[in-house]
Amino acid sequence: MTQKPKPPAKRGAAAQRPTAAGGKARVVHLEAENAALKKQLAAAEQKIALLERQRDAALNRIAWVIDSINSLAESVR
């Protein structure tokens, strides 16, 4: 049995090379997206730093309460 030769695959618009103007527009778009992502990252890092400070403050308060309770328990004995 012989196989029929396959016709060459058709390339869609997305598979074709972008033109120089289209490439420049894409670079501009990607640079803008990169700047926006960097801004979001900076905001997220600030939020993380704030949450870490709040966690540390809460842990310090908990440790203080535990020490106070232990001191009271020792003074009652």
- Residue pair 26/18 in contact by the 8 Å Cβ criterion: yes
In the structure, what pLDDT confidence band is assigned to residue 76 with cuts at 50, 70 and 90?
Answer: confident
At 1, the pLDDT band (50, 70, 90 cuts) reads: low
Between CA 37 and CA 47 the distance in angstroms is 15
Provide the pLDDT confidence category of residue 60 given band limits of 50, 70 and 90: very high
- Asked if 49 and 42 touch (Cβ cutoff 8 Å), the reply is no
Q: What is the pLDDT of residues 9-56, one digit of tens each?
A: 666 655 566 567 789 999 999 999 999 999 999 999 999 999 999 999
DSSP-derived secondary structure letter, 14: T
Distance from C-alpha of 36 to C-alpha of 32, rounded to nearest angstrom: 6
